[in-house]
């Protein structure tokens, strides 16, 4: 979009020189050249591909100088764009080679043939223009008549109108020929900026002050301007003026540039790069710079901006500082470096092999130098200098010199760098220094492993003991009094390191899942955890077992809906019939209620205890299979007996009523 004249006046000033800038009318580009030359502009832009330099076949036209001039390209009287006119000065370089027959006979071989040196010269001149974010390349065809072709003489210039550029932008121009016979010319020009974009400092921060009118919408972009390649955008935002943008001082680098433009179609963009000479920006640049290893003989300095610097190869002992130069020095043309200097000051020091070799080690660097007639010498780099190998000196490398040479010949040393003048090797030293400590370290490791294993076993045992063994208690609900007796036994066992499961405490789950599903889940979990299933026999339980053994199915009886014993027989009997019960099941019955001989023979393949008379043996059977017999077993049996006795008294001697359960079922006893 054309820039209003008053903005150009603000930017360029009201001097007569500025106000008399030449005005070009119309949007078309054009070209003209010096008298005697003919030139032509291609209709469209071309790709910016300079190509490689090739030898000149004879006299050629080459750009020698670039000259720029600000002009105005106007659509209307007061609406103009700032435009950069470029003049390319040309000269004749090279000369004609004499034909072989002319050299031999000292004259012209054939006067009837026109000599090429009397012909005109033609050239295709490329102008490359870059001003962020615009880049263009145009092609100018130039022809010079034979009369003006003189070696080393200027033949005139060709002028291109024109490259449009934004106020405040930095413009870079290159010129070369196609094909390219010489290095391209380049020219950089900073265009004047608008006064409403200013940069001010406030302590460690930097303020970008944009004095634009209220409600004016504009875009603001920060980017890194690159000498080679396109700029790298860093930040972009659309804003409404006026605005003050704050930048942290750590974000400043010399190539950080600012671009501002109104949010309108085809608007002119203003660019400034205000931090080129800022000391903080240069410090930040070196702090962000990194050296990166590419190959054994090449390196890359990564930095936000281009850096003029010198690099040198150096070495550093483990824990030593600073990095010392190689003695004797190696050629560092295309050498991998880890030290960079700028203005005779050390700016950056890195170990480029850290990624491939890991952290610094106590290795020895062997420096190999090569002389004439394949003569070579080796020395080991040490803080005192480079010790020749072999050597009788008293240094560490000298004492181990024979072993280091053997490692080098056997390929155990790593080559870091190599060229015609010498090589650099890293040889490990740890196997020599720590060899005598190997057995000590091995013994310590074995002792630590054994100690860890013992502590782990003790921890697992203590954890299992603290958690307690799982016990599933199964019984037949003969009557409510017997259920209370079972509940008392289960509560007493919970005081021990046992995790007791009984249907009395799981009536809700039992109703929801059903007796068979509930018992199956409890039995599987108990046995998987290494627990035990306790079959508490009563006259009713014996009767149910007998029915199952005779008919294989439970007959009808007066049993409640929560009687898990009847449901459990379908899962319990297969364990006994297939011999899987020992170790996972135990039986029990109460004194004076049932004699152990009344229990069916199939269930007596596991221990059957009478309670409370055999409580110690019963509690011993409930312990973990490999758990040692505790001296407190008798004490625990007495504890369970005391907790169980009130329930036994209430069951066998209820006040004013005969003892429940007497005479019920086979082997019930005499009731006394």
Rounded Cα distance between 74 and 5, Å, is: 10
pLDDT (0 to 100) of residue 123: 92
Quick one: average pLDDT of 71-87? 79
In order of 90, 112, 151, 295, the CA distances from 102 in angstroms are 31, 14, 20, 52
Quick one: average pLDDT of 470-481? 88
364 contacts: CB under 8 Å, gap ≥ 6: 380, 381, 397, 400, 404, 426, 427, 429
Q: What count of other Cβ atoms lies within 10 Å of the Cβ of residue 661?
A: 24
Query: What's the pLDDT tens digit per position in 172-183?
Result: 999 999 999 998
Quick one: average pLDDT of 435-457? 73
- Give the number of C-alpha atoms closer than 13 A to the C-alpha of residue 289, restricted to the C-beta side: 26
Q: What is the mean pLDDT of the chain?
A: 77
DSSP 193: P
Triad 387, 313, 353: Cα angle to 5°? 95
Triad 279, 285, 290: Cα angle to 5°? 150
Query: What's the pLDDT tens digit per position in 607-663?
Result: 999 998 999 899 888 887 666 555 678 888 888 888 888 888 888 877 655 544 443
What DSSP assignment string belongs to 229-275?
S--EEEEEEEEESSEEEEEEGGG--TTEEEEEEESSTT---EEE-TT
Closest CA to 87 of 170, 183, 184, 187: 187
Buried-exposed string 148-166: b where 16+ CB fall within 10 A, e elsewhere:
bbeeeeebbbbbbbbbbbb
Triad 298, 300, 302: Cα angle to 5°? 175
672 pLDDT more than 50: no
Token output for 300: 């890359």
Residue 311 near residue 299, CB atoms below 8 Å: yes
DSSP 180: B
Quick one: average pLDDT of 508-532? 87
pLDDT (0 to 100) of residue 361: 64
408 pLDDT more than 60: yes
Closest CA to 257 of 190, 309, 195: 190
Measured on CA atoms in the order 539, 545, 546, 547, is the torsion positive or negative?
positive
Q: Which helix (H) or strand (E) holds 158?
A: strand 154-164
Residue 187 near residue 68, CB atoms below 8 Å: yes
Query: What's the pLDDT tens digit per position in 335-349?
Result: 334 456 565 567 777
More confident residue, 432 or 251: 251
- The rounded Cα 331 to chain-centroid distance in angstroms is 36
406 contacts: CB under 8 Å, gap ≥ 6: none
pLDDT bracket for residue 534 (50, 70, 90): very high
Rounded Cα distance between 574 and 567, Å, is: 13
Per residue, what are the HEC states of 499-558? EEEEHHHCHHHHHHHCHHHHHHHHHHHHHHCCCEEEEECCHHHHHHHHHHHHHCCCCCCC
Closest CA to 166 of 258, 32, 228, 99: 258
pLDDT (0 to 100) of residue 335: 36
Q: Which residue has the tokens 């003209």?
A: 32
Closest CA to 26 of 169, 167, 161: 161
Q: Which helix (H) or strand (E) holds 642?
A: helix 633-652
More confident residue, 65 or 456: 65
More confident residue, 649 or 550: 649
More confident residue, 607 or 351: 607
Residue 363 near residue 316, CB atoms below 8 Å: no
pLDDT (0 to 100) of residue 348: 72
Q: Which helix (H) or strand (E) holds 11?
A: helix 5-12
Closest CA to 218 of 208, 226, 207: 208
The residues pairing with 381 across neighbouring beta strands, listed in sequence order, are 386
Q: Which pairing describes strands 585-590 and 532-536: parallel, antiparallel, or unpaired?
A: parallel
More confident residue, 289 or 607: 607
pLDDT bracket for residue 556 (50, 70, 90): very low
pLDDT (0 to 100) of residue 275: 86
Q: Which of 8-22, 128-142, 304-318, 419-433 has the highest mean pLDDT?
A: 128-142
Quick one: average pLDDT of 69-76? 80
357 pLDDT more than 90: no
DSSP 121: E
49 pLDDT more than 80: yes
Query: What's the pLDDT tens digit per position in 189-230?
Result: 887 766 667 777 777 788 888 777 777 888 888 998 887 778
Q: Which of 132-136, 219-223, 555-559 has the highest mean pLDDT?
A: 219-223
Measured on CA atoms in the order 386, 387, 390, 396, is the torsion positive or negative?
negative
Q: Which residue has the tokens 């004095």?
A: 211
- The rounded Cα 253 to chain-centroid distance in angstroms is 26
566 pLDDT more than 70: yes
42 pLDDT more than 60: yes
586 pLDDT more than 60: yes
Q: What count of other Cβ atoms lies within 10 Å of the Cβ of residue 470?
A: 19
Token output for 212: 């634009």
Q: What count of other Cβ atoms lies within 10 Å of the Cβ of residue 301?
A: 15
Q: Using DSSP, state whether 281 is helix, strand or coil.
A: helix
Q: Supply the pTM of this predicted model.
A: 0.39
Rounded Cα distance between 531 and 524, Å, is: 10
Triad 523, 526, 531: Cα angle to 5°? 130
% of residues, the chain, pLDDT over 90: 13
The residues pairing with 110 across neighbouring beta strands, listed in sequence order, are none
pLDDT bracket for residue 90 (50, 70, 90): very high
pLDDT (0 to 100) of residue 113: 39
pLDDT (0 to 100) of residue 112: 41
List the 339-342 sheet strands across, edge first: 310-312, 339-342, 345-349
More confident residue, 432 or 134: 134
pLDDT (0 to 100) of residue 559: 47
């Amino acid at each position: 979009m054309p820039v209003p004249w008053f903005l150009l006046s603000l930017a360029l000033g009201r001097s007569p020189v500025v106000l008399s800038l030449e005005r070009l009318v119309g949007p078309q580009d054009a070209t003209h050249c010096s008298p005697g030359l003919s030139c032509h502009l291609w209709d469209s832009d071309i790709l910016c591909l300079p190509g490689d330099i090739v030898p000149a076949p004879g006299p050629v036209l080459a750009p020698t100088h670039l000259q720029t001039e600000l002009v105005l390209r106007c659509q209307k009287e007061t609406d103009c764009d700032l435009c950069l006119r470029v003049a390319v000065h040309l000269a004749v370089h090279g000369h004609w080679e004499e034909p072989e027959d002319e050299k031999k006979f000292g004259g012209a071989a054939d006067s009837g043939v026109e000599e090429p040196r009397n012909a005109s010269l033609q050239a295709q001149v490329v102008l490359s223009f870059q001003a962020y974010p615009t880049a263009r390349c145009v092609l100018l065809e130039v022809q010079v008549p034979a009369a003006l072709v003189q070696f080393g003489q200027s033949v005139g210039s060709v002028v291109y109108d024109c490259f449009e550029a934004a106020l405040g932008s930095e413009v870079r121009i290159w010129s070369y020929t196609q094909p390219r016979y010489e290095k391209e010319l380049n020219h950089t020009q900073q265009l004047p900026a608008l006064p409403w974009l200013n940069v001010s400092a406030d302590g460690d921060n930097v303020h970008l002050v944009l004095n634009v009118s209220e409600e004016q919408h504009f875009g603001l972009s920060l980017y890194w301007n690159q000498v080679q390649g396109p700029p790298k955008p860093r930040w972009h935002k659309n804003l409404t003026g006026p605005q003050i943008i704050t930048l942290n001082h750590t974000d400043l680098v010399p190539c950080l540039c600012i671009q501002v433009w109104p949010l309108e179609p085809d608007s002119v963009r203003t660019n400034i790069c205000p931090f080129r000479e800022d000391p903080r920006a240069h410090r930040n640049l070196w702090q962000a710079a990194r050296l990166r290893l590419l190959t054994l003989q090449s390196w890359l300095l990564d930095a936000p901006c281009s850096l003029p610097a010198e690099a040198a190869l150096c070495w550093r002992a483990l824990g030593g500082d600073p990095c010392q130069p190689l003695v004797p020095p190696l050629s560092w043309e295309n050498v991998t470096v880890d030290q960079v200097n700028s203005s005779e000051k050390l700016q950056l020091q890195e170990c480029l092999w850290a990624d491939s070799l890991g952290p610094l080690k106590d290795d020895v660097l062997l420096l190999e130098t090569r002389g004439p007639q394949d003569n070579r010498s080796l020395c080991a780099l040490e803080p005192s200098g480079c010790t020749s190998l072999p050597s009788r000196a008293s240094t560490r490398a000298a004492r181990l010199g024979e072993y280091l040479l053997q490692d080098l010949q056997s390929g155990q040393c790593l080559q870091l760098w190599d060229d015609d003048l010498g090589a650099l090797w890293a040889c490990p030293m740890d196997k020599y220094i720590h060899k005598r400590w190997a057995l000590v370290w091995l013994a310590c490791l074995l002792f630590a492993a054994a100690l860890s294993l013992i502590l782990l076993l003790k921890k697992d045992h203590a954890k299992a003991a603290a958690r307690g063994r799982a016990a599933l208690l199964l019984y037949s609900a003969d009557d409510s009094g017997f259920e209370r007796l079972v509940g008392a036994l289960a509560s007493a066992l919970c005081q021990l390191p046992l995790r007791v499961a009984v249907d009395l405490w799981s009536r809700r789950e039992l109703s929801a899942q059903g007796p068979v599903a509930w018992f199956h889940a409890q039995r599987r979990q108990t046995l998987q955890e290494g627990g035990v299933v306790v079959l508490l026999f009563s006259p009713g339980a014996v009767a149910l077992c007998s029915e199952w053994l005779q008919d294989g199915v439970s007959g009808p009886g007066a049993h409640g809906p929560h009687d898990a014993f009847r449901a459990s027989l379908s899962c319990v009997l297969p364990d006994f019939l297939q011999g899987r019960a020992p170790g996972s099941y135990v039986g029990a019955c109460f004194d004076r209620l049932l004699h152990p001989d009344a229990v069916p023979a199939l269930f007596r393949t596991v221990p059957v205890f009478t309670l409370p008379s055999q409580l110690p043996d019963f509690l011993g059977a409930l312990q973990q299979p490999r758990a040692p017999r505790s001296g407190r077993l008798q004490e625990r049996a007495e504890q369970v007996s005391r907790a169980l006795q009130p329930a036994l008294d209430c069951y066998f001697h209820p006040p004013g009523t005969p003892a429940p359960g007497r005479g019920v079922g086979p082997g019930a006893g005499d009731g006394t």
